């Protein structure tokens, strides 16, 4: 029994190190964003200057607006299609092939999806239709993987859902359509919203596919990437802090909704 | 019934047909075409691109990527298994919050999290500065722009993907099994090796794949922490498309990457299937 207590203590120590490893870089960047000198090596006092200089960076703000547009439109499309897919998988066909197909868009390497979509857009849109690539092509691309994530989240919710209330609604004379909008949808709503939030977060943070399919416009991640490539500037720390705050908030809300009682 | 199926499944499958299947098909076609001068392709059949992929220059990139992905996976497993084990054996009400704590960084921007390591590993960065002021080193350690930095960044990026599936396989395990083993005189180490570990192998395999796959084809981590050379497959593909403007060769490299992953997933599915069949026979 004694050796077991020892093992437990070791496990706890390891766990502490893992949490430190996961959060140390984040804490450092957030801390530095408030450092007047902006240098990692010397703390010269609390300052919001770097946030002010972010707000004065027009190109960055434009990129941020672009990303909000891409994220919102992507989320709406992917949430509708993903929810329908979840219903279809859960209610119409039982096929393990179809079940595993849902995971394909999640595991295709993003660099491969990026070059495949660039080739496709270049041939069909730019080549045949003479359309310029832009935010709309980024949206078309982000929907591809977001559908899969929404479907997985909504499906979990559907599985824990008591179908007898739907039957009751049908027995009481409501038609299928009414039953869906009045009974099914409200019951799975937390799952749908959680899936949507996740879809938005993934689109908001996505870099490589946007980098290939954006044409000449910039999204927030591609703009931040070129800033990082240019060199470590204190401004990036402030941007990083804002991005982390947004994603963490969205993910925590999404998580809360997923745990909500059925 | 048929109409409903079409309404529910149609939009998603249609979207994937147009924006996933057709584009990947196009990549397959491009791989046997000749390159255009400024990107794009000339539709003349050739196997030159395929032959070129076996040039030692590019084979080395594939081998290096494999090596980095394997090392990353092994380290993530060694760190991730005990972490998952601890979380899964916590009192029930603690499990979800602690799990969320560990998974949370994964859902934030990989670009930003990778950037954070530049700040830490830089020659003038926090770690070197700290070691210097403690008097432990005189010249900054070369922590950035090398294999060490890439592996570190990848382990950091994907560790939660190792922890999650292992956690669920341990959590599903009946505690009675471990107790039975202890009652029968098995010490904790023996119980772990003979009972817990074999029963959680599927979760462990899933975790390894979840880490290995995105590591192998990664672009952002080797790009930012590896010094921006075409050192891993992901960087090489990006360079062929956006810099060298050799799309057909970029297409061949992408197909090679997918083939490697496909082979891996196939082996895993086969192993799992075999386990299941053996379990049924027994």
Q: What is the pLDDT of residues B103-155, one digit of tens each?
A: 999 888 999 999 999 988 887 778 888 888 888 888 888 888 889 999 999 99
- Tell me the nearest-neighbour CA distance from B112 into chain A, angstroms: 6
Instruction: Give the minimum alpha-carbon distance from A117 to chain B in angstroms, rounded to a whole number.
Output: 6
Contact residues on chain A for B122, CB-CB shorter than 8 A:
40, 232
Give pLDDT, residue B229.
Answer: 64
ipTM, interface predicted TM-score of the complex: 0.89
Give CB contacts under 8 A, 24+ apart, made by A249-253. A250/A197, A250/A198, A250/A200, A250/A201, A250/A204, A251/A197, A251/A198, A251/A201, A251/B104, A251/B107, A251/B108, A252/B100, A252/B104, A253/A197
Structure confidence by residue, pLDDT tens digits, A117-161: 999 999 998 888 989 999 999 999 999 999 999 999 999 888 877
* Residue of B188, B247, B261 with shortest CB distance to A7: B188
B73-96 residue pLDDT tens: 999 999 999 999 999 989 888 998
Å from A228 to nearest chain B CA?
Answer: 7
What residues form DSSP beta bridges with B39? B37
Measure in Å the smallest separation between the Cα of A73 and chain B Cα atoms: 15
Testing the interface with A: which of B2, B10, B23, B212 to mutate, by most A Cβ within 10 A?
B23
Residue that has been written with the tokens 């990107």 in this structure: B39
Helix pair angle (B92-103, A2-33), 10° resolution: 40
Identify the closest residue of chain A to B117 by CA–CA distance: A25
Interface contact flag, A18 B79, Cβ < 8 Å: yes
pLDDT band at B101 (very low <50, low <70, confident <90, very high): very high
Residue to substitute from B109, B241, B254, B270, interface A, most A β-carbons within 10 A: B109
More confident residue, A93 or A20: A20
Mention every residue, 6+ apart, whose C-beta is less than 8 A from residue B174: none
Best residue of A7, A9, A88, A155 to probe chain B, by most B CBs closer than 10 Å: A88
Alpha carbon distance B14, B20 (integer Å): 10
pLDDT reported for residue B250 = 93
pLDDT band at residue A261 using 50, 70 and 90 as cut-offs: low
More confident residue, A176 or A231: A176
pLDDT in tens, A60-92: 999 999 999 999 999 999 999 999 999 998 888
Nearest to A81 among B12, B26, B87 (CB): B12
Q: How far is A125 from chain B (nearest CA, A)?
A: 12
- The SS3 call for residue A245 is helix
Given CA atoms B111, B113, B118, B124 in this order, what sign does their dihedral have? positive
Straight-line distance from the first to the last Cα atom of chain B, in angstroms, rounded to the nearest whole number: 40
For A18, A254, B94, B104, the CA distances from A249, given in Å and listed in that order, are: 22, 9, 20, 10
Q: Examine the pLDDT at B198 and tell me if it is beyond 80.
A: yes
pLDDT at A1 over 50: no
Among A15, A221, A247, the residue with its CB nearest the CB of B107 is A247
User: pTM of this prediction?
Assistant: 0.91
Distance, CA of A102 to CA of A148 (rounded, Å): 6
Nearest CB among A32, A92, A147 relative to B8 is that of: A92
Residue A138 CA to its chain's centroid (Å): 14
How many Cβ atoms sit within 10 Å of the Cβ of residue A57?
16
- pLDDT band at residue A3 using 50, 70 and 90 as cut-offs: low
Query: Residue B112 is nearest to which of A144, A201, A244, comparing CB atoms?
Result: A244
Q: Is the CB of B119 less than 8 angstroms away from the CB of A85?
A: no
Nearest-CB residue to B126 (from A10, A28, A113): A28
Distance CA A221, CA B240 (A): 22
Encode pLDDT of A162-217 as tens digits: 788 888 888 888 888 888 888 888 888 988 998 999 899 999 999 999 999 999 99
Cβ contacts from A onto B, under 8 A: 225
Looking up tokens 């993003």, which residue turns up? A110
């Amino acid at each position: 029994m004694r050796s077991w207590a020892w093992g437990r203590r070791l496990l706890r120590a390891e766990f502490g190190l893992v949490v430190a490893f996961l959060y140390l870089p984040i804490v450092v960047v957030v801390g530095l964003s408030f450092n007047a000198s902006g240098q990692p090596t010397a703390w010269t006092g609390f300052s919001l200057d770097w946030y002010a200089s972010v707000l004065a960076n027009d190109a960055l703000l434009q990129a941020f607006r672009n990303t909000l547009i891409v994220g919102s439109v992507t989320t709406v499309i992917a949430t509708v299609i993903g929810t329908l897919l979840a219903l279809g998988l859960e209610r119409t066909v039982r096929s393990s092939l179809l079940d595993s197909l849902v995971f394909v868009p999640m595991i295709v390497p993003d660099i491969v999806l990026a070059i495949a979509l660039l080739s496709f857009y270049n041939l069909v849109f730019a080549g045949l239709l003479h359309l310029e690539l832009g935010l709309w092509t980024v949206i078309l691309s982000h929907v591809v993987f977001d559908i899969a994530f929404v479907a997985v989240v909504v499906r979990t919710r559907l599985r824990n859902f008591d179908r007898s209330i739907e039957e009751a609604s049908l027995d009481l004379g409501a038609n299928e359509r009414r039953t869906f909008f009045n009974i099914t949808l409200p019951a799975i709503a937390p799952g749908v919203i959680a899936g949507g939030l996740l879809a938005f977060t993934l689109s908001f943070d996505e870099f490589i596919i946007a980098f290939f399919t954006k044409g000449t416009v910039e999204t927030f991640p591609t703009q931040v990437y070129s800033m990082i490539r240019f060199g470590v500037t204190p401004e990036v720390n402030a941007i990083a802090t804002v991005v982390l705050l947004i994603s963490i908030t969205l993910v925590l809300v999404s998580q809360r909704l997923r745990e909500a009682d059925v | 019934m048929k109409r409903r199926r079409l309404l529910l499944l149609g939009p998603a499958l249609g979207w994937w047909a147009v924006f996933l299947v057709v584009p990947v098909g196009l990549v397959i076609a491009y791989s046997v075409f000749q390159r255009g001068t400024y990107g794009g392709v000339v539709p003349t059949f050739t196997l030159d691109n395929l032959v070129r992929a076996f040039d030692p220059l590019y084979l080395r990139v594939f081998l290096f990527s494999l090596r980095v992905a394997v090392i990353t996976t092994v380290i993530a497993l060694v760190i991730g298994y005990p972490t998952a084990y601890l979380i899964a054996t916590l009192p029930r009400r603690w499990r979800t919050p602690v799990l969320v704590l560990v998974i949370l960084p994964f859902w934030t921007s990989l670009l930003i999290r990778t950037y954070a390591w530049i700040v830490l590993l830089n020659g003038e960065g926090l770690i070197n500065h700290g070691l210097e002021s403690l008097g432990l080193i005189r010249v900054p350690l070369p922590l950035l722009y090398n294999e060490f930095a890439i592996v570190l960044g990848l382990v950091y990026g994907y560790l939660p993907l190792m922890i999650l599936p292992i956690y669920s396989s341990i959590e599903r395990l009946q505690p009675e099994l471990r107790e039975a083993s202890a009652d029968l005189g098995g010490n904790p180490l023996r119980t772990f090796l003979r009972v817990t570990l074999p029963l959680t192998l599927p979760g462990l395999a899933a975790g390894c794949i979840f880490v290995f796959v995105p590591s192998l084809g990664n672009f952002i981590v080797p790009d930012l922490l590896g010094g921006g050379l075409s050192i891993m497959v992901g960087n090489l593909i990006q360079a062929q498309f956006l810099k060298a403007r050799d799309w057909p060769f970029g297409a061949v490299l992408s197909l090679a990457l997918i083939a490697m992953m496909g082979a891996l997933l196939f082996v895993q599915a086969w192993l799992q299937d075999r386990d299941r069949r053996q379990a049924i026979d027994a």
